[in-house]
């Protein structure tokens, strides 16, 4: 299952989602899933294998991202998140073309 939601201030993406009696692993974040929302901080679990292009595009409130696994990060995944101050990466990751374009506040 891929995860996406709009308009959340702070977001912990679950590693599993249960619908009825069936549980599904969250393995990806879709393109534009959080694009232009007011998300402030996000924790991406180890189960996520891919953050698709533009997943967090133009999230002007986003300040902090924690990536617990080793996902591939698509192009423009965090582009134009001009208030993004910190990305905590716990493992090695694969980065596509310009995932942080327009981000100048990173520490």
Are the C-beta atoms of residues 98 and 79 closer than 8 Å to each other?
A: yes
Q: 98 pairs with which residues across the strands?
A: none
Task: Give the pLDDT of residue 96.
Answer: 77
Q: Model confidence over 52-95: pLDDT tens digits?
A: 999 999 999 999 999 999 999 999 999 999 999 999 988 888 88
Q: Model confidence over 20-46: pLDDT tens digits?
A: 999 999 999 999 999 999 899 999 999
Are the C-beta atoms of residues 49 and 28 closer than 8 Å to each other?
A: yes
Task: Give the pLDDT of residue 97.
Answer: 78
For the chain, how big is the Rg over CA atoms in Å? 13
**Residue 93 and residue 9: Cα distance in Å, rounded?**
25
Q: Which residues contact 21 (CB under 8 A, 6 or more apart)?
A: none
The answer on pLDDT for 106 being more than 90 is no
Label residues 11-49 b or e (16+ Cβ within 10 Å = b): bebebeeeeeeeeeebbbbbbbbbbebebebbebbebbe
Sorting pLDDT into bands at 50, 70 and 90, what band is 107? Answer: low
Task: Give the pLDDT of residue 43.
Answer: 93
């Amino acid at each position: 299952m891929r995860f996406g939601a709009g308009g959340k201030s702070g977001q912990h993406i679950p590693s599993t989602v249960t619908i009825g009696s069936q549980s599904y692993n969250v393995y990806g974040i879709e393109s534009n899933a959080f694009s232009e929302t007011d998300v402030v901080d996000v924790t991406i679990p180890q189960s996520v294998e891919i953050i698709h292009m533009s997943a967090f595009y133009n999230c002007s409130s986003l300040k902090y991202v924690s990536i617990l696994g080793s996902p591939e990060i698509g192009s423009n995944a965090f582009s134009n998140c001009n208030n993004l101050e910190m990305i905590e990466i716990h493992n090695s990751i694969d980065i596509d073309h310009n995932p942080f374009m327009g981000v100048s506040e990173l520490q």
